[in-house]
Amino acid sequence: MNKHIRFNDEVKKAILSKKPLVALESTIIAHGMPFPQNIAMANHVEAIVRECGAAPATIAVIGGEIRVGCDDDALEYLGKSGREIPKAGKRDLPYLIAKKMDGATTVGATAYIAAMVGIPVFATGGIGGVHRDAEKTFDISNDLEVIAECNIAVVSAGAKAILDLPRTLEYLETKGVEVIGYRTDFFPAFYTAKSPHRVNHRLNTPKEIAGYLSIKNELGIKSGVLIANPIPEELELKNEEIDAKIAEAVKTAREENITGKDLTPYLLFKIKELTAGRSLDANIVLVYNNAYLAATIAKELKENEKEPKI
């Protein structure tokens, strides 16, 4: 096993007992939510995964060591340190390890590490993508590139609503990433259950999704899959409300010249402020929703592995 990776005891036991595993990112803890909601969220997400019969593997870089599975102390450290811990994309991993630094892994870095150690399912809130005005800024999240190159299923509530969703979907199409709607024909827009944009295919049960993933693996197709899982409609923020808040947040970010890695966390916190905290509540709910679906898919995948091959 890679000398730069450390598995916690729960993940080790899951691997040895062939128990299903679900990867979880750490940027959402350090950068995506304020303290102490971030720690409560991280603990509850892990509890949901366990209740579904899988083991959680929260991924982070701590002291130059990639952690696959974080104990309670590590989760609290990530939550309390917050944005003092740098966001860690795939490209940042060698530097952070060499310098023995910490890093909160993004969707891209988490997907890469999970695929490297053989965890087939990853739950997050929303993926990064093509930013608005990307034709001027060239700001496209590396999440898309990594998902395209890694054999992993990413469960998310679509892409973050602050992004250019049509261009994000076009980029995924170009890279050969299948976008499957869970019980929906339309791509969810993070805080909102449905956007005007369609997914590639619809599947209605975790068993169907696991069956699709098993066939994909049997055919040797190595690119990632995005499982688009809408936020429950009764808890969503309506398009007309959230679109206006996003436009206001984007305008403020331009005026303050916020760019690059700082842009997404800035916009999320600004939108939280503009919606009086309702966007954070929605964010937390959709993360729980995604963790549940990811864990049930991971469990079904393990059941498929037990079936005799003819």
Active site residues: 25, 160
DSSP string, 40-106: HHHHHHHHHHHHTT-EEEEEEEETTEEEES--HHHHHHHHHHGGGSPEE-GGGHHHHHHTT--BEE-
Q: Using an 8 Å Cβ cutoff, are 228 and 199 in contact? A: yes
Sheet holding 201-203, edge to edge: 5-7, 65-68, 55-62, 21-24, 121-123, 153-156, 225-228, 178-182, 201-203
- Rounded Cα gap, residues 220 and 100, in angstroms: 36
Chain mean position to CA 28 = 8
- Rounded Cα gap, residues 297 and 300, in angstroms: 5
Which DSSP state fits 300?
H
